[in-house]
Amino acid sequence: MNATRIRIPGATRRFWPFKPGIGRRVGAGVIIALLGVASAQAVDDRQPSFRQLRPAPDLAAKSREQLDQRRKAAQSGDARAQFDLGWMYASGLDVPRDYDQAVMWWQKAAAQGLADAQLNLGIMYQAGIGVAKDSARAVEWYRKAAEQGDVTAAFNLGMAYDEGVGVQRDAEQATYWWRKAAERGDALAQNYLGRAYHDGDGVSRDYSLALLWYRRAADQGDAQSQSNLGFMYQNGEGVAQDASQAVEWWRKAAELGHASAQYNLAVAYHNGEGVMEDFVESHKWVVIAAANASEDRQRKYGLLREALVQKMTPDQIAEAENRAGRWLDSFGRKR
């Protein structure tokens, strides 16, 4: 079509540190999905700051007799059995769900130095579930577990320092604990450490180290890090500016359900930056992004969709929406 080309504002340049996860960050607080139940539909690119509870491994596969044995062991003072019993109460496995009981049994195990229980207690205090909300106590338990080498606790402790939750905000301490987790392969910590190096927050700004940590997380399938790599290639930060590489990283993140990457991919197809101009693909990705996004972002994405509709035939619009529908159906089945 020969309609006048409408220039759409470029990709959002903020490095959001969030990725699809188990809940949604609300200011400095979080909503914890205790059992980690994932939605069957695409979610936006935010996640809770603090990680979900650690389950007891293989407990659901045990027989009733074996579960009874775990109860007896817990009552006899076995720390691991106490942790398991706490998980049974938290998840409602073979007992009525009772978060107060879960906290009680985890306190017993944590007092014996079990890092798994210390981590879960920290999360319960952070969320105020089964116990009065107390972010300072949460930090105490995260620290105890992190000092034993628990990766998730180290990540959570880094988040506490980053957000000033339960402690005074301290960017250097945040990066210290993220590094502990990142060096042991934790993708979320690697992403946050990459962000710290990109922004110069708690460490000296170093784009090469930002790239290194983003790439390590991206290679593990972390969508946010993939999206961040796209921004760095788009902006030529630490690498030669390369629109096609930016598109490839956004595509990887988009296929994992990352709404901002999906929108940026739509912009790239609209503007012909890093890919051939393709209004059908652009329309497809902006429809998908809108399905994933918050209301505020949906309004922004609507501007691109409106511009596209002006330049497309009804058949092209129908094809784009069919492609988007097929993608969303397929993504929902994978969740």
Three-state SS string over 104-143 comes to: HHHHHHHHCCCHHHHHHHHHHHHHCCCCCCCHHHHHHHHH
pLDDT of residue 335: 61
pLDDT of residue 328: 94
**Segment (H or E) for 268:** helix 259-271
pLDDT of residue 300: 87
Contact yes or no for 210/232 (Cβ under 8 A): yes
Domain ranges for the chain: 25-246, 257-335
Among 48-52, 80-84, 114-118, 195-199, which stretch is predicted with the lowest mean pLDDT?
A: 48-52
Q: For residue 214, how far is the Cα from the chain centroid?
A: 14
* Count of other CB atoms within 10 angstroms of residue 301: 24
Rg over alpha carbons for the chain, rounded to the nearest Å, is 23
Cα(first)–Cα(last) distance of the chain, in Å?
Answer: 38
Residue 11, class by beta-carbon neighbours within 10 Å (0-12 exposed, 13-18 middle, 19+ buried)?
Answer: buried
pLDDT tens figures, 256-309 = 999 999 999 999 999 999 999 999 999 999 999 999 888 888 888 999 999 999
Whether residue 10 is predicted with pLDDT greater than 90 in this model: the reply is no
pLDDT band at 11 (very low <50, low <70, confident <90, very high): very low
Q: Which of 168, 116, 111, 109 is nearest to 142 (CA)?
A: 116
Among 78-87, 152-161, 245-254, 286-295, which stretch is predicted with the lowest mean pLDDT?
A: 286-295
Whether residue 19 is predicted with pLDDT greater than 60 in this model: the reply is no
pTM over 0.85: no
Q: Which CATH architecture has domain 25-246?
A: Alpha Horseshoe (1.25)
Overall average pLDDT of the 44-64 stretch: 71
Whether residue 9 is predicted with pLDDT greater than 70 in this model: the reply is no
As a whole number, the mean pLDDT across the chain is 85
Distance (Å, rounded) from C-alpha 134 to C-alpha 149? 23
- Per-residue tokens: 197: 């190096």
pLDDT of residue 333: 64
